[in-house]
């Protein structure tokens, strides 16, 4: 009579010996580590499983969920910082366009020259866009008569 048994190769974590045990034996130990007794390697070291495969997968899933939530919060915080910095930059550019110095809050006609002379160590030099010149009706007629666009 012949008996065929599927064996699973294991290595003892204490001594490193390679040995084989029936696959069903190890499967029972993995499925219910608290209810089933441990076993011994051929050199006599006591072995046992501390958690089921399902417990391990659940723990990994929970860990990944926590990591995902942390990354989502970091991304949201970075988005908030970027939006705030963009609002600040736009505010400074708008004020600089109106000729207001971002360092001393003075209104000046030549902002670039003011920045070079009064604030040479400023980390940035805003470029002031000249305010558009508004032409009255009489000035428009005169410009049209001269052929100016």
Residue 40 parent element (H or E) = strand 39-40
| Mean pLDDT value across residues 8-22 | 93
Q: In whole numbers, what is the pLDDT of the chain averaged over residues?
A: 83
Give the separation between CA 56 and CA 52, rounded to whole angstroms: 6
41-90 confidence digits (pLDDT tens): 999 998 888 877 888 899 999 999 999 999 999 999 999 999 999 999 88
In this structure, the answer to whether residues 23 and 40 fall within a common structural domain is yes
Give the separation between CA 119 and CA 125, rounded to whole angstroms: 9
Q: Where are the alpha helices (DSSP H) in 98-136?
A: 111-118
Task: Report which DSSP code applies to 3.
Answer: -
Q: How many domains does the chain have?
A: 2
Structural domain includes residue 93: yes
In this structure, the answer to whether residues 69 and 114 fall within a common structural domain is yes
């Amino acid at each position: 009579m012949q008996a065929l048994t599927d064996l699973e190769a294991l290595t003892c974590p204490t001594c490193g010996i390679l040995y084989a045990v029936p696959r069903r034996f190890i499967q029972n130990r993995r499925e219910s580590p608290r209810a089933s007794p441990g076993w011994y390697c051929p050199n006599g070291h006591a072995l046992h499983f501390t958690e089921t495969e399902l417990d391990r997968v659940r723990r990994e899933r929970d860990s990944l969920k926590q990591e995902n939530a942390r990354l989502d919060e970091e991304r949201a915080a970075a988005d908030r910082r970027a939006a705030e910095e963009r609002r600040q930059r736009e505010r400074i550019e708008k004020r600089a366009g109106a000729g207001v110095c971002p360092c001393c809050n003075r209104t000046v006609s030549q902002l670039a020259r003011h920045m070079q002379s009064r604030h040479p160590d400023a980390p940035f030099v805003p470029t002031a866009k000249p305010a558009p010149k508004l032409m009255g009706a009489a000035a428009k007629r005169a410009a049209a008569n001269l052929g100016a666009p």
